[in-house]
Amino acid sequence: MRTFATFLAAATLFLSGAFGVGRSAEPSPDQEPADMQPVEDRINVHMSYLFKPSYRRLKPLMRSAPTDAATWNKMRSEALLLAESGSNLTQYHSSNEFNPDAKKNWPRNSADVKKHAAALYNAAKKQDFADAKRSYTSMTKSCNACHKSEVSLGSPPMLTPFGKGITDN
Ligand code: HEC
């Protein structure tokens, strides 16, 4: 991959030299342009402004099989948001110093949220409610697995996938 990137960089350099195209300030493939930095890197803000509202919108949709396309689409939309946000969590790490396993658990639980949310997304796309419900339940377990690991940090809540919950009904 790196070799290919180097080849591309060399080819771009050659072509821009030869034909006068390309921008001289082009960042190298290893450099992240400043505007690609995360907008917000505090996990509690991700949880309160992305995960929590999305889960709250999703939860009532999971009570019974949707009867129209609009509801399936809403389910898809929340699942995709949680899958991509779960994937994003893998770039961070636990700052819980009290649980020796927390740092080790963080990437696994983030990746599991992504995996099950992606399965939910695909089930909603196929309009398969049994599959969607299974994936939603597994995703919630993975959310809670991280919350359990992080419990001394701001006491993250235990989410209830069905029925009344403290924070998410
Ligand atoms: C890899 C770890 C991790 C995963 C995975 C994770 N969370 Fe969290 N979550 C946290 C942490 C840490 C906090 C506590 C943040 C704080 O208050 O400092 C938290 C807090 C929360 C809160 C409380 C925030 C508030 O404003 O009340 C909600 C709700 C929440 N998470 C929802 C979710 C949902 C839904 C998922 C899965 C789709 C999820 N989380 C997955 C780490 C995680």
Residue 31 to residues 25, 36, 43, Cα–Cα distance (Å): 12, 10, 24
Residue 129 belongs to what H/E stretch? Answer: helix 129-149
How confident is the model at residue 162, as a pLDDT?
A: 94
Q: pLDDT tens digits for the chain (169 residues)? A: 444 444 444 444 333 333 333 334 455 666 667 778 889 989 999 999 999 999 999 999 999 999 999 999 999 999 999 999 999 999 999 988 888 899 999 999 999 999 999 999 999 999 999 999 999 999 999 999 999 999 875 678 999 999 888 777 5
Give yes or no for a contact between 79 and 66, defined as CB atoms under 8 angstroms apart: no
Ligand 1 close to Cβ of residue 109 (< 6 A): yes
Q: Which of 41, 48, 51, 139 to mutate to test the pocket of ligand 1 (most atoms within 8 A of CB)?
A: 51
Residue 143 alpha carbon to ligand 1 centre in Å: 7
CA distance 76 to 61: 11
Q: How far is the CA of 60 from the centre of ligand 1 (A)?
A: 19
0.75 exceeded by the pTM?
Answer: yes
CA of 74 to the centre of ligand 1 (A): 21
pLDDT at 95: 82
* CB 143 less than 6 A from any atom of ligand 1: yes
pLDDT at 125: 98
CA 152/CA 22 separation, integer angstroms: 51
Atom of ligand 1 nearest to the CA of 96: 12
User: What distance in angstroms lies between residue 40's CA and the mean position of ligand 1's atoms?
Assistant: 15
CA–CA separation, 105 and 121 (whole Å): 24
Delineate the domains of the chain, giving CATH numbers in brackets: 39-90+98-149 (1.20.120.10)
pLDDT at 13: 39
